[in-house]
Structures are given as structure tokens and as C-alpha cells.
Structure 1
Amino acid sequence: MTWFKFLDKSCNPFLGKSWLFLSVKKYRLLMIVQTLLISACQSTQLRQPVSLPAEATVTTANFNHAMVSKAGITTRLHVYVEGDGIPFESRFVIAQDPTPVRPLMLQLMGLDKTQSLYLGRPCYFNRSLPQLADDRCNPRIWTSARYSDEVVESMTKALRNHLVSHPARGITLIGHSGGGTLAMLMAARMPEVDQVVTIAGNLDTDAWTRLHRYTPLKESLNPVNLSIDQLPRHQLHIGGDKDTNIPPALAQPVLSRLGLAMVIIPNADHNCCWINHWPQLLHQMDAQIEQ
């Protein structure tokens, strides 16, 4: 039995009994067509829901957002924004659930002694809490429109909802990967934010899609178009010298235009080993604010 029998016919208009009679040459051609067609399909596979801490809550803006709040020793607020997670199961198959299996930013927040908030992205963790179920979710929100105006606006509103009951004296937005993209875009809309920190941040989404030959994110905003006047004075951009997903060189033209340089962490890649470096990087963040 070939793997062909396991394909979902709803995603394959060519799939049927006739494939049994294809010549080898035609079969190979069909396989190529199948690969192209599957780009329009969404995976039917679902992983186990990711567990959120017991104290997780939900706030509603344009979308529902998971939030995990943590008390700290200062009145300053650190806001953690997760990366893109798993938007695709493979290069051509969209995931039904983009939630990361091991949310890095939740782990980093656990090491932070400052008052902190984990701010979930729209349509992430929807299977983790019943209250997060959201009919407004569709694959656009974690693929082509992942950094769109509607997403950035919802993230901004969700954070401001939190600030109503948890006022802060100074706000740092911290984002990993695509969360860094959102942190930059949010900071440009929130004058109350006085520091933005990106970890392996995607600061030029067009350059990133060109690098990997991905489809351009035509429904999304790109931080490369932000001016220095739109962003807070305090910025810290951190990259790993082994990162092949978002190489530090990809952000350098953006940072040079802003008069900034990236902090390069030796032997770090896109996901490893930020937990080991985070305590020291937190000190750098604090020192920058005190300048």
C-alpha cells in the first residue's frame, strides 16, 4: 500500500481509483501536482493542547487573548510576546493550531523578577482554555496576516485592557522571533511603552520571506517601514550567531537606519539557548532604562 491512500481527497481533486492505472511517469507528474495543490490545504492533524498555568486568564479585544500575569518587585511591567509557533505543519500544509509546543516566552518570564505579563497572540492556545474559543479565527491570522493591522490592534487593545487594572510605571515589550515583529509594531502605537526588546526578532519580514523563498506576507505590516520617531528611545535587539532562521545580518540594515546595533550571543541559534542567557540579558535591559 502506498502513502497515496492516506491523502485527504478533499485536498486532492485528482485522487481517485484512476490513480491505480497511472504509468510511473504520469504518477511522478501527479506527485508534483499534488505537492503544489496541498499548499491550499490545512492539516487535519491536531496535537495535544498545550497546558497554560493555572492562573491564566482571557481578555477580549478584536480577538480573544490568553494572559498570564505575574507579580514582581517593581511597578515596571515586562510584556512577553511569543513567536509564530507552528503556523505550518510542513512547507505546504497549514497547521490547524499554531500554538508552540514549548512556549519559550513563558519560560523566560518565569526567570523574571519584574512584574510581568505573558500576552497571547490571537488564535493561539484556543484549545487550551474553553474561554479562548473564537469564531473569528481562521488560518490567515497565523499565516499571511500574522502581523496585520487587525492583529496588532487587538494585541494593543488587550494590553491596554490589562493596564486598566494593573497600572505600570514604564512598559517593556519583549518579543521572540515573530513576537519581536509584533513588539515593534505595538510599540509604535503605544507611547506608554518606553522600551522594546527583540530576541531573534524578524525586523524585516520581506527580507525574511525572500531569504527562505516563502510566500510574501502581503496582509501583514513590516517593522522595516517604522521610523525612529515612532519607536521608544530604549531598544535592545538580540540575536544568535548560529541562527539560520533569522540571521542577525538580516536585521542589520534596519538597525543601522535606526542608529542601533545588535547584541550577538555566541553559540545561540533561533531557539537555543536563551534561557541560559536570560538573567544576564535582564540586567542589560534594566541598565539601559537607568541610563
Structure 2
Amino acid sequence: MSKNTDIVASLISLGLSEREAKVYRVLLGIEEITASAIPKFADVPRTKVYEVLTSLQKKGFCRENSDGNILTYSAVDPKLALESLMRPERERLRGMEELSSTLQEEMGVLYNNSASRLSDYEFIEILKGHAEIVHRYNDLRSNARGEIIEMSKGDYFISDEEAIHEADANAKLIDRGVKLQVLYERSEIEQCGKNYFHTKNHELGVLARMVDELPIKMSLFGGNTLMLPLSDPAIPEPNTTALIIEHPELYKTFKMMFRVYWDQAMEIDFNDHATI
């Protein structure tokens, strides 16, 4: 690494938050320091210092030292710290490679057989237009049994008013025993964090986490049905097209993909959606 490398920016690119990177950079340059002294050297709010230090300890980047009644903090050797950071990332990549291999087989069968036989199948439905998609989406939700799993990415097909109606309708689903799980992109939570739609879902018991970026937008209903919004580069915006597939094996494959991202995702603090 060049001596001119921006250490804070590099740590952020490897997965630390900006506050974590700034505090660890301070710890690297001093043998030990109290929490109250850290804001003098890093642009981190005093009220957030202990929260950041706790997170760094969990990630293996700092240690807490006790000398009588005084607590101080020091950096863990960078080699050990970075290894602990990269280990779960390597495991995640291995999981994605295994999932990719499975997807290639499952989706390859569909692709290779679709050209000549697609018209003979009734398990694929193509929807065009906002009204048709929203109507079908609500119908799938209201009739779902067991679970609804979603990846929320990019622009919505539904308006703010429709989103509020959806959040209210979730109460009936949960009362009926339907498990609701949603993965959001970080940008959506940071931009919309405390709006009615997200906080109401949280209060009802909708399980939600966030990741930096999702590969697709999708909804899975009741162990059998998938809804996949499509993007056709030949059609100008707004491009409202969706694919409905009823296929248990393909459903399982997409659910496996969801689990990979879910296991790596971050919990959302709806009391303060900004992360450390």
C-alpha cells in the first residue's frame, strides 16, 4: 500500500462504516486512548463514540483495556483485523458461487426449453401496465399462504398511497400467520427511513434487513409463485412490465438466493435508521 493511500476511504470500501474507519484510523496512531478523547482526533459525534467502539470490537478491530476505573481502547493488529473482516466476505463469495452454479442448471433448463414450448405452458404470465401489475400483485399478496419474501430495489410500481395501503394490509396477512421478509437497499432506508410505510411494517412484525445493493427486484408468494419486474432497453421509461411464474423448483432457487443476501444483510434500526 502506498503511503499516500487514503486509509479511511480504503477501510470504507472494505466494509467499515465511515465512523468506524475514522475511529480505527485514530487507534492505529496511538497506543491507547479513552473514548472521550477520540472526538478530538476524529470527526465522530461524542454520543456515537461508544457505539462505534463496540462495533469495532465485534468486528475484531479494537480491544478494550481496563486499568482500575479507567477504560481505554487500542487497535488490533491490522493484519488480524483485516483477516477477520475478509473471512465472512470469502464465505459469502463461496456461497454465491455455489448458488450461481445451481441457478445455471435450474434456469438453463427453462431457457433451453422455452423457445419452442413456452406457448404450451400456463405457469408463465406477462403483465404490462401499472394498473394490471398492481392489481395482480395485490391479488398474489392477499391469497398467499405461509410466506411472502421480497427484494426491494429501485423505483416502485406502486404510488405512496398504494404503499401505505399495502403496509396496512400486512396486518391481516400477519394475523393469518403469513411470514413477511423484505430486503431493502441501504439507499432506500437512508432516504426514506422513518416514513409510515417502513415503520408501520416494523411495528407489525415484518422482518426487514438492508444491503448496499441487490441484484434484482422480486417477490415470492407462498412457496410457488414468483413476480419479477422486467427492464426492456427497447422500451422507453416508464417501463412497467412484470413476469409471473408458478414453478416450485424455481421458487426454491430464488429463495436460496434471497437467503444468501439475507444472511449477509444488516439489521435496520427504525429508531435511528442511520447506521454507525
Q: Give the TM-score normalised by the residue count of structure 2.
A: 0.28
- Higher RCO (C-alpha under 8 Å, 6+ residues apart): 2
Q: Which has the larger radius of gyration?
A: 2
Greater per-residue helix proportion: 2
